[in-house]
Structure 1
C-alpha cells in the first residue's frame, strides 16, 4: 500500500464530510462559528478520523460501513481540534502557531478561543447522537458515545493534559510520563480505532485486538512527537519546535535519550502490528498507518 496516496484519499473524504456537517457562519452566532471553522479547517493530517475509517474497514470493508464511520470520524476530529485550541492558550502551552497558521486565540482572543473549543467539543456529541450517524443502531451508538466521552474526559485526554500541567518543570519517572501520554494522546487515538470497529459490528475479540493496536500506536505517536520536538524545525512541524524543553516538560528523549526513544517507538509499532495478526488484508491500512506514525517527519 502507498500510504501517502491512501492518506490523501481518506483525508479528502474527511474534509468533504466535515464540510457537509459543520455549521455555517450565519446569524447571531456568526463570529463564534467562524472561530470554530477557522481551527477545524486550517489544515491537519486527520490521523484520528482516518484511524476510525481504517478500523471500520478492518472489520467490514463495505462502502455503507465506511459512510457510517465517516460521521463518527468527523466527530473525533472536532474533539481533537478543540483540544488543540485549548492546549495553545496562554494558560496552557501558550503557543502562537498551530498547523503552520496563527493559533485561534491570537485571532479571536482568549475568550473566543475557549468558546470555539467548547463549541467543537459539544458539537461532536451532537453529531454522534443525531441523524449524522443514521444507520448505526442505537445500542452501538451509545457504546460509541460512551467510549469517546471516556477517552476525551477526566480519565482520558483532559486528565492527561491536567497531569502534563501538574508535572511541568518537575522531575518525574517513566511510569508518570507514560500515564500522561497514555491519557493525553493515546486515549483518543485508541478510541478512534475502536469506534470504527464498533460501527462495523466487530466481535469482542476484534475489538480487543484493535484496542491493543490503538494503545501501542498511541504510545508510538507521542514518542515520535517528543522526538520531533527535539529534531524537527518549526517550519516542518507547523508549530514551535523545542517547546517541550522551553516549558521544562519531561519527555521520552529527556529521560532516555534520542536513540533509545526511537527504539521504544519501533517496539510499540511492532506490538501494534502483532495485534493485527488475525486480520486479513482489509487491515493493511492500519498496518501502513503504524509504519507511517513511527516514520513521519512532522
Structure 2
C-alpha cells in the first residue's frame, strides 16, 4: 500500500542531497569559475526547506510507468531549481517584497537585491543545463522533450506570464474567468510540467499523457486554491512567511470572490476532478492521488 508520508519524505531527502551536490562551485563552473557569492545565494534559496512537491510529482508520474525514483530525480531537481528561482525573484522588493521564506530571511535580505536577481537567473539557467546532461536520460530526444516541457511551463505562457497577469490584476482588477487563467499559469503551469515530465520519462503514450495532463491541471488549481485559503486562515509561523497579504493588497482571489466556505467547496470538487482523471491507471497512480488530497489538506 502506498504511504504518502514515507514517499514524500524520501523524495525531499533525495532532492536536498541532489541539490546540495549540484549547487557547488565545481559543478556550476565553465568556462570560468563560478562566483562564490552567487553559489552561496543559490544554496540559501534552494536548500534546507520546502516540501519538494514538484519533484515528488515528477517521481510519482514516472512511477506509473515503473521508472525508479533515482531515474526521475534529475528532472525533479531541474523543476525544483525553477521553482526556487521563482521564489527568490517573487520575494524581491519590486515584486512581493517579502522578508521571510521558509522561516528564514529571503535571499535579498540575506545578501542583497542584485545578488538575489543573479542567484535566480543562475538557478533558471542551470536547470536547463541539468536537463541536457546524459545522466538525466539516455535518449537525447527525451531530454529535448523535457527541456521544452519545462520551458513552456516556466515561460511567458506559463509561470512568468501568470506572474505578469497577477501584477496587472492588482492594478486593474480581474474580469470573470481571469483569476482562473492567471492561477493556471502562475502556479498550475509548473505543476502541469512536473507531471508531464514524469510521464515523458516513463514513455507515456498520447492517451496516458492526456489523462495525466488533466490530472495535473486540476491538481494545480487545487494547490493554488488551498494556498489562497491558507493566506486567510494560517499563521505566519505555520507558513514560514507573511500571510494576509492578498487581502492587504486588495488582490482578487477565489476566496475573496466566493468566501471561505465557497472556496472550500470548489477545492473539494477540484480534487475529485483530479482523482477522476486517474481512473484508468489503477494502484500505480496512488502516489498522485495522495498528493492531490494532500494539496487540499495541507496546513502550510
Q: Per the shorter chain, which TM-score range?
A: over 0.9
Q: Which structure has more RCO (C-alpha within 8 Å, separation ≥ 6)?
A: 1
Find 1:84's aligned residue among 60, 84, 87.
Answer: 87
Q: Deviations over 1:204-254 (max 9, x none)?
A: 111000000000000000000000000000000011010111222111111
Aligned counterpart, 1:194: 196
Secondary structure, counterpart of 2:66 in structure 1: coil
Aligned counterpart, 1:153: 155
1:14 lines up with 2:15 in the alignment: yes
Secondary structure, counterpart of 2:96 in structure 1: coil
Aligned counterpart, 2:40: 34
- How far off its partner does 1:141 sit? 1.3
Aligned counterpart, 2:96: 93
Residue correspondence of structure 1 range 1-298 to structure 2 within 5 A: 1-24=2-25, 29-58=35-64, 60-63=65-68, 66-135=69-138, 137-298=139-300
Q: Which runs of 4+ in 1 moved over 3 A?
A: 24-28
Question: How many Å separate the matches in 2 of 1:241 and 1:222?
Answer: 14
Question: How many Å separate the matches in 1 of 2:243 and 2:213?
Answer: 31
TM-score (norm 1): 0.95
Gaps of 5+ in 2: none
Cα RMSD of the aligned pairs, angstroms, is 1.4
Gaps of 5+ in 1: none
Between 202-211 and 125-134, report the one with greater CA deviation.
Answer: 125-134
Say whether the 8 Å CA contact 1:217–1:293 is kept in structure 2: yes
TM-score (norm 2): 0.95
Question: How many Å separate the matches in 1 of 2:135 and 2:19?
Answer: 11
